[in-house]
Structures are given as C-alpha cells and as structure tokens.
Amino acid sequence: MKQIFLCAIGCALLLACNNPKPAEETTTPAVAAEAKSQATEFADSKYADIGKRDLAALSSGDIDKWMEDIADNARFFWNGGDSIIGKAAISAYWKKRRSEVIDSINYMNDIWLPVKVNQPQQQVQSPGVWLLGWYQVHAKYKTGKSMSQWIHTDYHFDASDKIDQVIQYIDRAPINAAIAK
C-alpha cells in the first residue's frame, strides 16, 4: 500500500511538473514597447537631406540658398559661448565670412542622425526634431592658409521644418591660426 501511495505521489508530481506551457501572449514585448511613447526616436530621413543640402550651399558660397532653411528667429551658438541671433544677423555674418575671410570650404565624410525628442532629459533641452551632424571640414582662408578638422553640429527644427537653433562644436585654435596674418 505504501508503495502504491508513493508511486501515485510520484506520478502526480511528474504530471504537475510537466504541465503544458500557457498560450503565448498575442502582443510581443517589442510591439507593446512601440505603442508606448519613447523618450527619443529616429526622425524622418528628410532632415538628413536638409543637412546635406545646407552644407552644399555653404560650400558653394550660396548663403541665400542656405538661409531658405533657417527660421526668422533662429539662434546660432558655438561651443565657446559665441552666438548670433536672428536670420538676418546669421546671414550677414556668413556672407561676410565667405566673402572676406574664407576663400573656399569643403565638407566631407558626413554622418547624419535625425532624432525626435519626445521627452527631454533635462529642462533646458528642446523637444522636437534634432539633426545631429558630424563631418570633416577643409577650409582655405584669404590669408593663403588652410585648416582641416572634424565638426559636430546640432540643428533643431521648428514645427515648419525650419532650423531655429544651431549648436556647432568646433576647435577655434586651427581657425585662428589659419586667419592670422
């Protein structure tokens, strides 16, 4: 009797441990996560096209063409703390720079990452579409000297897909050396 009882308990345990798996959920974790709003996500590749078009305009010296993508209230900042506010001031600066300081400028090896920020990580950050650009620049100056370096630029777009903020990270030392007489 004791053996039958132990055998019955063993079979019951074996059956309990061998239960079939419950049916899988119809919503996979990836789909569920997609439905939830992400803090950041990739933005439309059209923003990378805008960045490429703008570098081509700057390279050719066509500041007016570049200005077509700039908002009237745009702000242009450099990592050193300098800034230019307003489309007219940005245009005047770059037209003067291209006609009086820079002889030629070329951009190459560019990398673009359009990102949509839904939930800024810091209070000072702007939500919306950002285009992050990395590229190598080679500039020849009116002094006859040249400069090459990598530049990182962040572009923020307003609701009309105009650039309303530019933050450019550059090393001023090679530029200053190239423009020195």
Domain of residue 163, CATH code: 3.10.450.50
Beta carbons within 10 angstroms of residue 147's beta carbon: 19
Asked if residue 172 belongs to a domain, the reply is yes
> What local confidence, expressed as pLDDT, does residue 22 receive?
53
Note down the domain range covering 79. Answer: 37-179
pLDDT digits (tens, 9 = 90+) for 44-102: 999 999 999 999 999 999 999 999 999 999 999 999 999 999 999 999 999 999 999 99
In a domain, 107, yes or no: yes
How many residues comprise the chain? 181
**Is residue 7, in this structure, part of any structural domain at all?**
no
Q: Is residue 11 part of a domain?
A: no
> Does 79 fall in a domain?
yes
Minimum mean pLDDT range among 19-28, 39-48, 59-68, 127-136: 19-28
Q: What is the pLDDT of residue 181?
A: 85
Residue 30 included in any domain:
no
Q: Could you report the per-residue pLDDT of 151-168, keeping only the tens digit for each?
A: 999 999 999 999 999 999
Report the chain's mean pLDDT, rounded to a whole number: 87
User: Going by DSSP bridges, is the β-strand pair 70-78/83-85 parallel, antiparallel, or unpaired?
Assistant: antiparallel
Q: pLDDT > 90: what percent of the chain?
A: 76
Whether 165 is in a domain gets the answer yes
Q: What is the mean pLDDT of residues 29-51?
A: 82
- Rounded to an integer, the average pLDDT of 136-153 is 98
**In the predicted model, what is the mean pLDDT of residues 109-127?**
93
Q: How far apart are CA 56 and CA 105, in angstroms?
A: 10
Which one is predicted more confidently, 35 or 92?
92
Q: What's the structural domain count of the chain?
A: 1
pLDDT for residue 9: 44
Residue 12 lies in a domain: no
